[in-house]
Amino acid sequence: MNNLLNKELRLVIHPLYYLTALFGALILIPNWVYFVALMYVLFIAFPNIFMNAKAQNDTGFSVLMPVRKRDVVKARVMSMSILEILQVLVAALFVAIGVSINPKGNFLIDANLAFLGCALVMYGLFNLFFFPMFYKTGHKVGLPLLVSLSITFVFSSIIEVLVVMVPAVAKVLDGNTPSAMISQIPVLAAGTALFVGLTWLAYHLAAKNFEKIDL
């Protein structure tokens, strides 16, 4: 398993795709849709990584090795989740910077701990739809990507609308003062738990689908 994960991180994911996490710097833009900053990893890194892997027949090569098919899935899900977590960590750095240079906050959801928690849920939902759909074939990327990105856009849009239109939601998710940040810790914790749970479920559904197909 460790060798498969190492193969994913060193050979499948080109080093340049780790740099997509730097799009988190877009969080510093005042009055912007901050969720978009965290989506670049999904519509730049993900499709290119999977298309390059397809061109190199990485999946076919991997299943020829003396490993379980579900471990091939696990290594890919884990490696892509590492990209997502890296993006959130880099975003957290720019959230801290943004709070210091833009204390007035944002018209939409503020760059804060609750935003990071919601971003983790967004990634978890993407994983839940993308990986099981992709591993129904092991090579078709287009439709799984389209459906998964649509889900992330809908989720992030709902969060933004609720923050603007529903004061009760804004009270929980919005604000970048120290007291507001402290009250948002449960949202970040819940978002982390949901990310782990949804990604775990995505892996099991994807592995189940992949074991049914004959490559």
In tens digits, what is the pLDDT along the chain, a chain of 215 residues?
777 888 888 888 889 999 999 999 999 988 889 999 999 999 999 999 999 988 888 888 888 888 888 989 999 999 999 999 999 999 999 999 988 887 777 888 889 999 999 999 999 999 999 999 999 988 889 999 999 999 999 999 999 999 999 999 989 998 888 888 899 999 999 999 999 999 999 999 999 999 888 76
Q: Which tokens is 98 given?
A: 């943004």
pTM: 0.94
Please tell me the distance from the alpha carbon of residue 209 to that of residue 132, in angstroms, as a whole number.
7
Answer yes or no: are the C-beta atoms of 107 and 170 closer than 8 Å.
Answer: no
CA distances from 143 to 135, 147, 149 (A): 12, 6, 10
- If residue 99 lies in a helix (H) or strand (E), which one and from where to where? helix 69-101
Please tell me the distance from the alpha carbon of residue 172 to that of residue 114, in angstroms, as a whole number.
8
